[in-house]
Structure 1
Amino acid sequence: MKLTVVGGGSTYTPELIDGFARLRDTLPVRELVLVDPAADRLDLVGGLARRIFARQGHDGRIVTTSDLNAAVDGADAVLLQLRVGGQAARQQDETWPLECGCVGQETTGAGGLAKALRTVPVVLDIAERVRRANPDAWIIDFTNPVGIVTRALLRAGHRAVGLCNVAIGLQRKFAGLLGVAPADVHLDHVGLNHLTWETAVRLGGPEGADVLPRLLAEHGDAVAADLRLPRPLLDRLGAVPSYYLRYYYAHDEVVGELRTKPSRAAEVAEMERQLLRMYGDPALDEKPALLARRGGAYYSEAAVDLAAALLGGAGSPYQVVNTYNRGTLPFLPDDAVIEVPAAVGGKGAAPLPVADVNPLYAGLMANVTAYEDLALDAALRGGRDRVFRALLAHPLVGQYGYAEQLTDLLVAHNREHLAWA
Structure 2
Amino acid sequence: MLSSTGETSPSTGGTPPHPRLKIAVVGGGSTYTPELIDGFARLRDALPLAELVLIDPAADRLELVGGLARRIFAKQGHPGRISWTSDVDAGVDGADAVLLQLRVGGQAARNQDETWPLECGCVGQETTGAGGLAKALRTVPVVLDIAERIRRRNPDAWIVDFTNPVGIVTRALLSHGHKAVGLCNVAIGFQRKFARLLGVAPERVELEHVGLNHLTWERAVRVDGEDVLPRLITEHGAAIAEDLHMPRSLVERLGVVPSYYLRYYYQHDEVVEELRSKPSRAAEVAAIEKQLLEMYGDPSLDEKPELLGKRGGAFYSEAAVALTSALLGDTGDVQIVNTVNNGTLPFLPDDAVIEVPATMGAGGAKPLPVRPLEPLYSGLIANVTAYEHLALEAALKGGRDRIFEALLAHPLIGQIAYADRLTDELIAHNREHLTWL
Q: Same fold (TM over 0.5)?
A: yes
Residue 374, structure 1, aligned to residue 390, structure 2: yes
Show the counterpart of 1:348: 364
CA shift for structure 1 position 333: 0.6
Give the distance between the partners of 2:270 and 2:326, measured in 1 at CA.
41
Query: Match of 1:116, SS?
Result: helix
Alignment TM-score, normalising by the size of structure 2: 0.95
Which amino acid is the alignment partner of residue 128 of structure 1? E
Which amino acid is the alignment partner of residue 371 of structure 1? Y
Show the counterpart of 2:159: 139
Show the counterpart of 1:106: 126
Show the counterpart of 1:73: 93
Query: Match of 1:365, SS?
Result: helix
Residue 90, structure 1, aligned to residue 90, structure 2: no
Query: Match of 1:331, SS?
Result: coil
Percent sequence identity is: 78
CA shift for structure 1 position 35: 0.5
Query: Match of 1:341, SS?
Result: strand
CA shift for structure 1 position 33: 0.2
Could you list the runs of 5+ residues in structure 2 that have no partner in the other structure?
1-20
Residue 235, structure 1, aligned to residue 255, structure 2: no
Equivalent position to 1:254, from 271, 293, 310 = 271
Alpha-carbon contact 1:325-1:334 (below 8 Å) kept: yes
Residue 290, structure 1, aligned to residue 307, structure 2: yes
CA shift for structure 1 position 316: 7.1
Residue 244, structure 1, aligned to residue 261, structure 2: yes
Equivalent position to 2:59, from 39, 42, 64 = 39
Alignment TM-score, normalising by the size of structure 1: 0.98
Show the counterpart of 2:283: 266
CA shift for structure 1 position 325: 0.5
Query: Match of 1:311, SS?
Result: helix
Which amino acid is the alignment partner of residue 354 of structure 1? V
CA shift for structure 1 position 203: 1.2
* 1:378 to 1:410, Cα distance in 2 relative to 1, 3 A: same
CA shift for structure 1 position 181: 0.7
Query: Match of 1:290, SS?
Result: helix
Over 3 Å off, 4+ runs: none
CA shift for structure 1 position 420: 1.4
Give the distance between the partners of 1:357 and 1:340, measured in 2 at CA.
13
Query: Match of 1:201, SS?
Result: strand
Give the distance between the partners of 2:201 and 2:343, measured in 1 at CA.
32
Show the counterpart of 1:331: 347
Show the counterpart of 2:69: 49
Residue 363, structure 1, aligned to residue 379, structure 2: yes
Give the distance between the partners of 2:378 and 2:108, measured in 1 at CA.
35
Which amino acid is the alignment partner of residue 76 of structure 1? D
Residue 167, structure 1, aligned to residue 187, structure 2: yes
Which amino acid is the alignment partner of residue 132 of structure 1? R
Alpha-carbon contact 1:309-1:317 (below 8 Å) kept: yes
CA shift for structure 1 position 356: 1.0
Query: Match of 2:104, SS?
Result: coil
Give the distance between the partners of 2:234 and 2:84, measured in 1 at CA.
50
Give the distance between the partners of 2:308 and 2:181, measured in 1 at CA.
25
Give the distance between the partners of 1:259 and 1:202, measured in 2 at CA.
39
Equivalent position to 2:39, from 10, 14, 19 = 19
Could you list the runs of 5+ residues in structure 1 that have no partner in the other structure?
none
Q: C-alpha deviations, 1:189-244, integer Å up to 9, x for none? A: 0000000000000112xxx1110000000000000000000000001111000000
Query: Match of 2:305, SS?
Result: coil
Q: C-alpha deviations, 1:303-361, integer Å up to 9, x for none? A: 00000000016x67001000001111011111100000000011100000111111101
CA shift for structure 1 position 23: 0.1
